[in-house]
């Protein structure tokens, strides 16, 4: 009786606000749990770095982590979506095939890292050269063994997916923290960060491989994963451009300030991704004639809590930084301004609608525009205003992205409307 009463109240509230609240609560709990745990662990570790290391050393470590994230683009980042679909269709052998494929592609990232290690050795930065070398040796494992999350997602085992992913992150964070406090060595910390993650990935991949029930491989979905990776390489790749431009133009110390400034806003974005991940299946149910009205309403609903969250963070940022990052007070204003870029996020709902319509050409063109505008604006703003210019560039790019998305959205609606009119005339 109590459960029925609670369910009825939740459903009434859902009808009032226009959200399928039971769906979001059930579907998002484990995802939110995983993100929350990882976020808290990441904030703890970043605070530890800020207190133990001088800015130039932390700047070098941040550069290395950004390089590893960027080279992760060589591991076909769109393949995870294809694995989810393949496993959900019962073709579980696709997971094993994709893992081997990603391992081969990861070797390309290893080559780039080895070249980077040689470069820093020639520049007489021995510590960074060794750190990059150790990361290069384990890169294929970290680049290929993370697909267990996609497999478990396809199996709809969200609880196990969250536990495995969270355990991997916490194991790495714990190991790095111990080494950082006891040795404070860039080389040893980088070695621990990369190899501890590989050890956890290997363990959970082994557990997941044991669950594969057949050897069926969907090669069409493998091709789809490669195609999705092309767009992901363009959009995600340019998001790392600032992590390389800042140390190149301004030095590693300034890179440390920028890295600290964006940590919390980026964690806020990770939380918001839960809403779009859960919303994507629901977009299929939207009728074309109501798409604009429904998406506008949903985006306003999403914008309200985002505005509250951003304003709260802007007010709380000085206190947060005084507690977590006392030596990085110049990063406070940068972080407050960077948080403003989060306000664009609801426009992603319109972008998801374009995916629903299979507007691949528009998505690719949008990605190209995003890349060009991001690179040009960052170089100009960075040269004019330094770190704050890099933050202004992020805001400017997001504004351009919103405009482009709306143009393509209106174009797709007009196309659908014209098609419906033509069909009605043919029927008459």
pLDDT in 10s for each residue of the chain, 428 residues: 444 444 454 344 344 334 444 545 555 677 778 888 888 998 999 999 999 999 999 999 999 999 999 999 899 988 988 898 889 889 999 999 999 999 999 999 999 999 999 999 999 999 999 999 999 999 999 999 999 998 998 888 888 988 999 999 999 999 999 999 999 899 999 999 999 999 999 999 999 999 999 999 999 889 888 877 887 787 778 888 898 999 999 999 999 999 999 999 998 988 887 666 555 445 555 666 677 787 888 888 889 999 999 999 999 999 999 999 999 999 999 999 999 999 988 887 787 666 556 556 777 787 788 889 999 999 999 999 999 999 999 999 999 988 988 888 888 777 767 766 666 665 55
C-alpha 201/C-alpha 114 separation (Å) is 22
Tell whether 11 is covered by a domain.
no
One domain, residues 65 and 185: yes
The structural domain count of the chain equals: 2
Compute CA distances 417 → 289, 291, 410, 411, whole Å: 8, 12, 10, 10
- DSSP 3-state assignment of 72? helix
One domain, residues 181 and 118: yes
Tell whether 5 is covered by a domain.
no
Alpha-carbon Rg for the chain in angstroms: 23
Domain span at residue 50 reads 20-219
Tell whether 224 is covered by a domain.
no
One domain, residues 183 and 261: no
One domain, residues 62 and 164: yes
pTM of structure? 0.81
Tell whether 123 is covered by a domain.
yes
One domain, residues 248 and 206: no
Q: Give the end of a domain, one of 219, 251, 283.
A: 219
Q: How many CA atoms lie within 13 A of 94 on its CB side?
A: 26
Tell whether 276 is covered by a domain.
yes
Compute CA distances 40 → 29, 45, 179, 212, whole Å: 16, 9, 19, 33
Tell whether 301 is covered by a domain.
yes
Tell whether 101 is covered by a domain.
yes
One domain, residues 339 and 254: yes
How confident is the model at residue 15, as a pLDDT?
Answer: 44
One domain, residues 213 and 264: no
One domain, residues 188 and 246: no
Q: Which two tokens stand for residue 427?
A: 């029927």
One domain, residues 428 and 372: yes
One domain, residues 139 and 257: no
One domain, residues 150 and 82: yes
Q: Give the end of a domain, one of 219, 254, 289.
A: 219
One domain, residues 212 and 248: no
C-alpha 298/C-alpha 335 separation (Å) is 27
Tell whether 14 is covered by a domain.
no
């Amino acid at each position: 009786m109590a459960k029925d009463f609670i369910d009825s109240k939740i459903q009434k509230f859902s009808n009032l606000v226009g959200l399928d609240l039971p769906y979001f609560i059930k579907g998002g709990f484990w995802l939110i749990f995983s993100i929350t745990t990882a976020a808290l662990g990441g904030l703890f570790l970043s605070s530890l770095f800020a207190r133990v290391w001088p800015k130039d050393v932390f700047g070098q470590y941040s550069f290395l982590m950004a390089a590893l994230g960027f080279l992760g683009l060589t591991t076909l980042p769109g393949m995870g979506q294809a694995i989810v679909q393949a496993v959900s269709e019962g073709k579980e052998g696709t997971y094993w095939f994709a893992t081997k494929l990603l391992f081969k592609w990861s070797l390309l990232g290893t080559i780039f890292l080895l070249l980077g290690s040689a470069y820093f050795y020639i520049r007489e930065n021995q510590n960074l050269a060794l750190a990059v070398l150790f990361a290069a040796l384990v890169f294929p494992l970290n680049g290929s063994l993370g697909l267990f999350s996609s497999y478990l997602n396809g199996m709809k085992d969200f609880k196990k997916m969250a536990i495995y992913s969270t355990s991997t992150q916490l194991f790495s964070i714990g190991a790095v923290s111990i080494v950082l406090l006891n040795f404070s060595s860039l080389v040893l910390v980088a070695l621990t960060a990369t190899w501890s993650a590989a050890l956890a990935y290997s363990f959970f991949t082994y557990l997941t491989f044991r669950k594969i029930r057949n050897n069926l491989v969907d090669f069409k979905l493998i091709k789809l994963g490669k195609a999705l990776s092309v767009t992901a390489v363009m959009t995600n790749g340019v998001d790392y451009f600032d992590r390389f431009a800042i140390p190149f133009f301004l030095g590693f110390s300034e890179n440390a300030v920028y890295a600290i400034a964006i940590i919390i806003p980026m964690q806020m974005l990770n939380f918001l991704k839960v809403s779009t991940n859960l919303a994507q299946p629901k977009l299929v149910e939207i009728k074309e004639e109501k798409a604009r009205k429904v998406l506008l309403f949903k985006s306003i609903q999403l914008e309200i809590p985002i505005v509250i969250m951003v304003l709260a963070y802007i007010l709380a940022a000085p206190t947060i930084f005084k507690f977590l990052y006392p030596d990085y007070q110049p990063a406070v204003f940068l972080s407050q301004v960077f948080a403003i870029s989060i306000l664009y996020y609801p426009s992603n709902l319109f972008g998801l609608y374009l995916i629903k319509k299979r507007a691949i050409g528009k998505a690719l063109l949008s990605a190209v525009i995003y890349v060009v505008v991001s690179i040009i604006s960052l170089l100009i703003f960075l040269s004019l205003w330094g770190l704050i210019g890099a933050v202004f560039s992020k805001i400017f790019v997001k504004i351009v992205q919103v405009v482009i998305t709306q143009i393509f959205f209106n174009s797709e609606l007009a196309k659908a409307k014209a098609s419906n009119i033509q069909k009605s005339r043919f029927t008459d």
